[in-house]
Chains A and B, each alone.
Chain A
Amino acid sequence: MISFEAVTIAMQGRILVDDVSFTVMAGEKVVVRGKSGSGKSTLLKALVGGARITQGVIRVNGLGVLPENIQQIRQDLAYISQEPGVSRETAAEDLLLPFSFKAHHGQEPTAARIEAVLSRLLLDPAILRQKSATLSGGEKQRLVIARAILLNKRIFLADEITSALDAESKDAVFSFLLETDHTVLSISHDPEWIDRCGRVFIIENGSLREEK
């Protein structure tokens, strides 16, 4: 569960998010829409500890987004952006990158698990041999989602993810994010995505209100 409790975020004297309160229950699919510069990306950034909260509290599964909790909170969150970060030589290296970190040593997934996750997202396992730089935008995004599934992430933060997707990728991403029991907090302009999300918020000049 995610909750924003009277959250205000100001940077360099400008209020980006103004006294925002809302709750996303476990398994809910929520989208926030708004013009560029309206503060919607700042909401997601604050959730992962990337923007300083001026007032109020953000909680993830009951834990306040505070320095003492941030590592535990980050373990639950997956952040999928418009241009997902794949930075290694091959797709396999990118997919398994987290398992090179101390926190996940000894937790490497089996080949069968990897194959199952990739096919869930309509990705051919042969893609793992490809250079990361040659993957399409949609393939990169699905690879990042596959990585999050392998890490058992339960909360997905999706930042304008549909804009770079082809039809096949869109189907795979939509069906995974919207038809499973994961919690999804997204920002998007895509009418189809907005239509399929359970709750829609609009943010204007940092103020948030629920649309449906």
Chain B
Amino acid sequence: MDALDIPLARFVLLYLLLLLPLYLLWRLKLGLGRDVLVSVARMSVQLFLVGIYLKYLFAVNSLLLNLLWIMVIMVVANLHILKNAGLTVGKLFWPTLAGVACGTLIVLAVFLLLVVRPTPLYDARYLIPLAGMLLGNCMNGNILSLERFYSGLRRNEATFLSYLLMGATLKEALHPFMREAIRTSLAPTIATMMTIGIVSLPGMMTGQILGGSFPLVAIKYQIMIMIGIFASLVISMVTSLYLSLPFTFDRMLMLRSEIFAGKKKG
């Protein structure tokens, strides 16, 4: 059983669905019309291009090409993390890339080598979507944790300094800031796991059911992906935060202002 294809004429109807929200936004004078149109256009073009590319990737199914694809999306995700966390790419590119890579590749290896075991193990049909799901979530979690951690430290420099003056090591002085950043970043994932299946049916599971999978098979994959997302999030956040420390503190154990992109502290 395959999912029903959507003919082009009916596909266009989808875009007409946007007219109502665009009208409402226009009436509320929110000035979001242009942003919505650009983002919808970008989303459509990007997904069509990736669809074409994936078709090619699945047909060729080459280990080298698959790995190259994962490397490219990890670099893109990492640049997006640093930009959105307000941090400079020059100083932190490698430590955060290492964090993203650890979180994604460890979980991906468990998925492919131990749990799913497709043939071949690097089968693009499994490797690419699973890597994409993990990376997407890793990216959002890392943006939150890095932004919370470093902006929290910057705002509360006096508190941080008071810990050092009380004899705390750097690790001890950073612990409350790190705890806060990681707790905040994990909260959405934990909340999703609490309500999944009751309030919402997740996108991946819905997609698999629409694609013809049995619900029980779809559920197993969904559980796998939820556990994987949680594990990759924690691994990547902790790794990125710890690996970034040598680049973000000077020898006096003070935060370097030059790690922040854009405006300098006033």
List the interface of chain A (C-beta within 8 A of B): 12, 48-50, 52, 67, 70, 74-75, 77-79, 81, 83-85, 87, 97-98, 101-104, 144, 147, 151
- Taking a contact as CB atoms closer than 8 A, the residue among B157, B169, B252 that contacts A103 in the complex is B169
B168 within 8 Å of A by Cβ? yes
The CA of A185 and the CA of B45, in the complex, are separated in Å by 64
The CA of A84 and the CA of B176, in the complex, are separated in Å by 17
List the interface of chain B (C-beta within 8 A of A): 156-159, 161-169, 172, 176, 250-254, 264
The CA of A117 and the CA of B216, in the complex, are separated in Å by 66
Min distance, Cβ A186 to any Cβ of chain B, angstroms: 16
- Residues of A contacting B253 in the complex (Cβ-Cβ under 8 angstroms): 49, 70
Identify 17 residue pairs between A and B in the complex whose beta-carbon atoms are under 8 Å apart, listed by A's number: A12-B264, A48-B165, A49-B253, A50-B157, A50-B252, A52-B252, A70-B252, A74-B165, A74-B167, A79-B162, A81-B158, A83-B158, A87-B176, A101-B168, A101-B169, A103-B169, A144-B162
- Taking a contact as CB atoms closer than 8 A, the residue among A12, A49, A98, A144 that contacts B167 in the complex is A98
The CA of A81 and the CA of B162, in the complex, are separated in Å by 10
- Residues of A contacting B165 in the complex (Cβ-Cβ under 8 angstroms): 48, 74, 77-79
- Residues of B contacting A144 in the complex (Cβ-Cβ under 8 angstroms): 162
- Residues of B contacting A49 in the complex (Cβ-Cβ under 8 angstroms): 252-254
Contact B172 A101 (CB under 8 A): yes
Knowing A12-B264, A49-B253, A70-B252, say if A103 contacts B161 (CB, 8 Å): no
Chain A CB within 10 Å — which of B161, B169, B251, B264 has the most?
B161
- Residues of A contacting B159 in the complex (Cβ-Cβ under 8 angstroms): 85, 87
Min distance, Cβ B160 to any Cβ of chain A, angstroms: 9
The CA of A180 and the CA of B156, in the complex, are separated in Å by 31
Contact B162 A85 (CB under 8 A): yes
The CA of A103 and the CA of B159, in the complex, are separated in Å by 18
- Residues of B contacting A147 in the complex (Cβ-Cβ under 8 angstroms): 166
- Taking a contact as CB atoms closer than 8 A, the residue among A67, A101, A104 that contacts B252 in the complex is A67
Closest A residue to B251 using CB positions:
A67
The CA of A104 and the CA of B264, in the complex, are separated in Å by 36
The CA of A162 and the CA of B76, in the complex, are separated in Å by 52
Min distance, Cβ A168 to any Cβ of chain B, angstroms: 24
Contact A98 B166 (CB under 8 A): yes
Contact A151 B166 (CB under 8 A): yes
- Residues of B contacting A12 in the complex (Cβ-Cβ under 8 angstroms): 264
- Residues of B contacting A102 in the complex (Cβ-Cβ under 8 angstroms): 169, 172
Closest B residue to A84 using CB positions:
B162
The CA of A151 and the CA of B163, in the complex, are separated in Å by 13
Closest A residue to B164 using CB positions:
A74
- Taking a contact as CB atoms closer than 8 A, the residue among B161, B166, B251 that contacts A50 in the complex is B161
Contact B167 A101 (CB under 8 A): yes
- Residues of A contacting B163 in the complex (Cβ-Cβ under 8 angstroms): 101
Min distance, Cβ A19 to any Cβ of chain B, angstroms: 22
Contact A75 B167 (CB under 8 A): yes
- Residues of A contacting B254 in the complex (Cβ-Cβ under 8 angstroms): 49-50
The CA of A148 and the CA of B250, in the complex, are separated in Å by 26
Knowing A50-B161, A81-B158, A85-B158, say if A151 contacts B252 (CB, 8 Å): no
- Residues of A contacting B157 in the complex (Cβ-Cβ under 8 angstroms): 50
- Residues of B contacting A97 in the complex (Cβ-Cβ under 8 angstroms): 166
Min distance, Cβ A77 to any Cβ of chain B, angstroms: 6
The CA of A97 and the CA of B252, in the complex, are separated in Å by 22
- Taking a contact as CB atoms closer than 8 A, the residue among A48, A83, A104, A151 that contacts B161 in the complex is A48
Per CB-CB distance, the 6 closest pairs between chain A and chain B, nearest first, are A67-B251, A103-B167, A98-B166, A49-B252, A85-B159, A85-B162
The CA of A81 and the CA of B158, in the complex, are separated in Å by 9
Closest B residue to A79 using CB positions:
B165
Further 14 A-B residue pairs, CB within 8 A, beyond A87-B176, A144-B162: A48-B164, A49-B254, A50-B161, A52-B250, A70-B253, A74-B164, A74-B165, A84-B162, A85-B159, A98-B167, A101-B163, A101-B168, A103-B168, A103-B169
